[in-house]
């Protein structure tokens, strides 16, 4: 994907230095601007990482840098990119189960010991086993 960006500043040329998540730095040199004819400097990027870094920066969020146009470098590239974004796996919500009617510490310990064949002596160990299994005790007050 080839993307062309404009820097909305009244300069002939301007350069921005952006830092990535791992500490790597990229310099973006916007050129071919013209102050007299009110033409903004631009840059054309083919590198996907450089495009994503620029689009996730504050410059792009504050409309200092705007996307002018997008072109496909290879036929069908835009469709493949859309399909890739749609197939991102969603995280499954952990399965939880509410156990009502348990109000005291002794009842929690007894319930966990009976259900999971454990020998818990303290509330902390019983709650640890219950949280691993996704049990919630809504009526329990410590």
Count other C-beta atoms under 10 Å from residue 51's C-beta.
17
Long-range pairs, 60-65, Cβ under 8 A, ≥24: 63/8, 64/7, 64/8, 64/9, 65/5, 65/6, 65/7, 65/8, 65/16
Read off the pLDDT of residues 54-86 as tens digits, 9 standing for 90 and up: 999 999 999 999 999 999 888 887 788 788 777
Read off the pLDDT of residues 83-142 as tens digits, 9 standing for 90 and up: 877 775 666 666 788 888 888 888 889 999 998 888 888 988 988 888 888 888 888 876
The pLDDT of residue 17: 94
Domain map (residue ranges) of the chain: 2-86, 97-136
Read off the pLDDT of residues 17-41 as tens digits, 9 standing for 90 and up: 999 888 899 999 999 999 999 999 9
């Amino acid at each position: 994907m080839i993307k062309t960006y404009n820097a909305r500043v009244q300069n002939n040329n301007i350069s921005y230095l952006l830092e990535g998540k791992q500490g790597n730095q990229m310099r973006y040199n916007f050129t071919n601007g013209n102050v007299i004819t009110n033409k903004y400097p631009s840059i054309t990027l083919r590198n996907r990482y450089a495009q994503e870094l620029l689009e996730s920066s504050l410059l792009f969020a504050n409309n200092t840098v705007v996307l002018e146009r997008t072109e496909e470098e290879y036929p069908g590239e835009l469709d493949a990119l859309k399909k890739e974004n749609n197939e991102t796996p969603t995280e499954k919500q952990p399965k939880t189960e509410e156990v009502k009617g348990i109000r005291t510490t002794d009842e929690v310990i007894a319930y966990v010991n009976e259900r999971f064949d454990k020998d818990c002596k303290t509330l902390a160990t019983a709650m640890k086993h219950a949280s691993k299994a996704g049990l919630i005790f809504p009526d329990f007050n410590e």
